[in-house]
Every structure is written in structure tokens, then in C-alpha cells.
Copies of this chain bind each other. A is one copy, B any other.
Amino acid sequence: MAKPLTVTLDLESVLIPEIWQAVAEATGLPDLAVTTCDIADYGNLMAMRITCLRENKIELLDISQTIQAIEPLPGAAKFLYWLRARTQAIIVSDTFYEFAVPLMMKLDYPSLFCNSLILDAHGYISDYRLRHKAGKRNAVENLQNMGFRVFAVGDSYNDLEMLNAADFGVLFRPAKSLVAECPKFQIFNEYSELKNCLSQILSGEKC
């Protein structure tokens, strides 16, 4: 008999839009739209974002208002509900609790494993704390240590370690460049395709 299944899902671009992009649009600050595609070092990227926010007097509370207006991707909430009625689902993300929590209400509060922001006395973001230096892979490995098979869903470079560590790893709406580099992962573009694959695995067939 197979071990029980847990599905780990990336958050941004899999269930909700990219948060920093939404903040960049709302504030009109193009520096905030920069991603790890532009600045590969995450520490440098975050340092630049934190400086940009402070220089423009944007506090966490201002960002929270922008984030509260974000809606999950069309079909995402329904897909997640379908999934949680059938197996375990945990969102594993590089975002921050302080950003994501207003959005979790719109997804009926699924479990979320992510990082934390550090604020200064004035409400500005001053630093951040990673839950673990390889948080996504680490989540998969610890779930496996708990006796689960893990099905991981991601869309981007920072998901590859998670997909590689998982028992099943699939890409959801990945960038074309990633597809060319990672031919080994199955690719899905619709939640209905993910549901079909997961239904097969849950019924004991291989997707």
C-alpha cells in the first residue's frame, strides 16, 4: 500500500499573481519589478528592494493594502479546494508571511510554509528571515521523513530543487526558457490537467 500523499505547491504564478510585480505596478517603481532573473543573488535583490521601499517612504502597511487587492489566479481557489478534499496540500513559497497572509483568506487558509519579514520601529521592512536556507527542498525532505510521498508543483528556477527532491515533480505554466532546460519534468498549463494527473496518482495509477 502506497504512503499517503502531500502536494507542495509554489504560491506565486501557481495560485496567485507575482506579489512584487503587483507592488511595482501599484507604486509605479520599476525597481520593485526586478526579479532573480535580473539580479541572480537573492540577498542583493532583497537589499535593493528594501532600500527602494525606504527611499520612497513605503511601509509594510502600504504594501499590505496593495496585496489585499490581489485576487487568486482564475480557478486557483476552486482547484485548491478540490485538492484539499482529497489529499494534503501545503503551499511552500519564498514569499513572506507578512505579504501572503491577507491572500490566504481568499484561499480558505491552506497551510503555508514561507519566510518572515523584519520591521523597524517605523513600520519599514528592515530585513528578512529565511525559514531555512533551502526552504523548498527542506520542506519536501521533512515531509518525506514524516512518511509522505510528495507531489511538488512549481513554475520557476527556484522550484527546481523542490521538484527534484519530490517523488513527483511537475511544472505549472513555466517560462519557456525553463522548459528548454528541464525536459525531465511534466508540464501542465491548466488546473484541470493537474487534477487529472493527481486523480490518477491518488487512485494508484501513475500519472
Contact = CB atoms under 8 A, between A and B. Distances in A.
A139 interface: yes
Given A1-B118, A139-B146, A142-B146, A111 B132 contact: no
Interface string A101-124: 100110011111100101000000
Contacts of A135: 146-147
Interface residues of A, number: 34
18 contacts: A1-B116, A4-B97, A4-B131, A81-B109, A85-B101, A88-B113, A108-B108, A111-B111, A130-B147, A131-B147, A132-B146, A135-B147, A138-B146, A139-B146, A142-B142, A142-B143, A142-B146, A145-B145
Interface of A: 1, 3-4, 81, 84-85, 88-90, 97, 101, 104-105, 108-113, 116, 118, 129-132, 135, 138-139, 142-143, 145-148
